[in-house]
Structure 1
Amino acid sequence: MSEENSRRYARRLSQAEAELWTIATADVRPARARPRKHVSPPPAAEIVAPLSPSGPSAVSDPPMAPKPPPRPIDIDPRTFVKIKRGRIDVDAKLDLHGLRQAEAQRSLTAFLRRCQANGARIAIIVTGKGLTRDEGGVLRRVVPMWLEAPNLRDVVVGFGEAARHHGGEGALYVRIRRADRGR
């Protein structure tokens, strides 16, 4: 929408909206210090302070915890094509066929941590396609959830379905995060 059109469709704020905007922006400061026009706040009786989760008497917020690694994402198409064509080597492979869920989850976690420690970048996890075409296998459904779990976020960058010659629907490519050198 052009600037001219946006002006045409602009409307004025109502008195209530203007007062709410004044309250909401009262503590906002510009990035660079510029002289600011003084705006008188509405009467104190009309201002309702929001309640914090710990109650109105909270003095300060607790210290921030370190930011966790981001959630795994799908492998980008460019990387997928490079793996498929053999331009990026698959460093490790884990076959989960025949394992129960608990065994498979332990094996997957240990395998990915070993891969990360050894400097692997790409791994293949074979889950199998399952017995029924409609539902697919149990491992095929739950392994992606395990890869997205918080306990593996420091290991897994992303994952996606493998190419046909690597197992297709019954396998996943997993991109592994580099190990922190500062530990």
Structure 2
Amino acid sequence: MKAKKRKKGQLSEEDRTLWAKVTSTLAPLHPERVSKPDPLTFEEAMGPGPVEPGVSSSSSKKTETAMRAPVEPPRPPAPPPLHQMEHRYRKKVVRGVRPIDARIDLHGLTQHQAHERLRHFIYGAQAHGYKVVLVITGKGGTASAGVGHWDERGVLRRVVPQWLAMPDLRQLVIGYEEAHVTHGGSGALYVRIRRRR
């Protein structure tokens, strides 16, 4: 009967028995320095097994660590920065040389209504290829008689710039700034629209 062929790098049962006998007879040179390690399995004592042909041990370690490392989802690109209108361009808008392409009046709307209409308006402005639009918020800012809270127009004047700076609209808006007094002053904003790609 033929003996089973062993894989390369493995010991036979006889070799294992012989190895166990040899190691049991050994005495350390300096017993005081020896700390008892945890008992190892035979496989741990013999080191890593054979590597598949064509695969280096370093590459298999890299693959193993890559599999363990948590994969972070890619971050979305940062929205482009907002820019102020150039002085010459603003002058042209104020004088009417550079026309305002469209305007929206948010007077009398709740914040929810105003936000929805503003988003729809800005997206539509970009779709039509408009360059400059006017957003009228109203000046507001006066407290209701003795109650001490700001009216809705005052709130819109404060929150519309925040909405324009949010990532969804910021992709469409180059910049915005307070309008000239002829177009509503502090109660309105010139908004420059980014060209559609």
Percent identity between the aligned chains? 46
Please provide the CA RMSD for this pair. 2.4
* Structure 2 partner of 1:74: 84
1:69-106: CA deviation from partner (whole Å, max 9, x where unpaired): 31322222222111101121100000000000010000
Aligned 8 A contact 1:93 1:123 in 2: yes
* Structure 1 partner of 2:129: 119
Q: For structure 1, which runs of at least 5 residues remain unmatched after alignment?
A: 1-56
CA distance in 1, matches of 2:193, 2:121: 11
Out of 93, 101, 122, the position equivalent to 1:91 is 101
Correspondence list, 1:86-165, <5 A: 86-132=96-142, 137-165=154-182
* Structure 2 partner of 1:34: none
Report the CA distance between 1:137 and its aligned residue.
0.7
Q: Report whether the alignment pairs 1:170 with 2:187.
A: yes
CA distance in 1, matches of 2:68, 2:83: 38
Normalised by the size of structure 1, how large is the TM-score? 0.60
CA distance in 2, matches of 1:145, 1:102: 14
Report the CA distance between 1:125 and its aligned residue.
0.2
Whose helix fraction is larger, Structure 1's or Structure 2's? 2
Correspondence list, 1:24-43, <5 A: none
CA distance in 1, matches of 2:160, 2:125: 17
Report the CA distance between 1:165 and its aligned residue.
1.1
Report the CA distance between 1:61 and its aligned residue.
8.1
* Structure 2 partner of 1:49: none
Say which SS state the counterpart of residue 139 (structure 2) adopts: coil
Normalised by the size of structure 2, how large is the TM-score? 0.56
Say which SS state the counterpart of residue 108 (structure 1) adopts: helix
Aligned 8 A contact 1:71 1:148 in 2: no
CA distance in 2, matches of 1:78, 1:166: 17
CA distance in 1, matches of 2:101, 2:68: 52
Aligned 8 A contact 1:126 1:172 in 2: yes
Larger Rg: 2
Aligned 8 A contact 1:91 1:122 in 2: yes
Q: For structure 2, which runs of at least 5 residues remain unmatched after alignment?
A: 1-66, 144-149
